[in-house]
Chains A and B, each alone.
Chain A
């Protein structure tokens, strides 16, 4: 089945130690998104790629970076994780018009910072 896969499902990292979360898709969607969801809060968009074009949200901290080496993969890099970065990170994909064609979300990576 076409899907969005996030690895790992759970990630524990040390305070200040760089960490990378990965997302892959078999849907061949143009757009890939990273959302951060803290406990009991709504998902918050960090950034998205439209093909190779990177679109950062204005309030996304510089500590968060992303790479999309090809259509299928997208990575979220946290350069120096702080305790406040502990959250569920959700990857999603869509075609050009996400509203019309819908979104597909991965199962998420739950990040713990110790």
Chain B
């Protein structure tokens, strides 16, 4: 069975602070994919990144960066210099290769105060 754990239920920061969201996963599959989604108050799920299990390179996209460590089964997400528009719920998710079921973590609500 697959499991995704986001231990932080809510994080509150002041604008321009950095914030790191933790994601730990469990799977018996050797090939799998990890995702991060953003869900603003309007409700839609916005895709942020996909990473396959063989690619442990960290990635940076603007103010967003991701740290994938297979040895610790973690796929953490950092927002640098946070902005009020970053306020949302962020979900980490996992799926095995050729699978059809995306397993979500419980989500982390990020509140960025001006």
Spell out A's residues near B (CB within 8 Å): 31, 33, 40-45, 48, 50, 55, 88, 90, 92, 94, 96-100, 102-108, 110
Contacts and interface: CB of A to CB of B under 8 A. Distances in A.
Contacts of B97: 97, 99-100
How many chain B residues sit at the interface, stated as a range, is: 20 to 34
A105 B95 contact: no
Contacts of B98: 96-97, 99-100
A99 B45 contact: no
A102 B48 CA distance: 11
Interface of B: 32-33, 35, 37, 42-45, 47, 50, 52, 91, 95-102, 104-107, 109
Given A43-B104, A55-B100, A98-B99, A90 B91 contact: no
Contacts of A107: 42-44
A7 B83 CA distance: 31
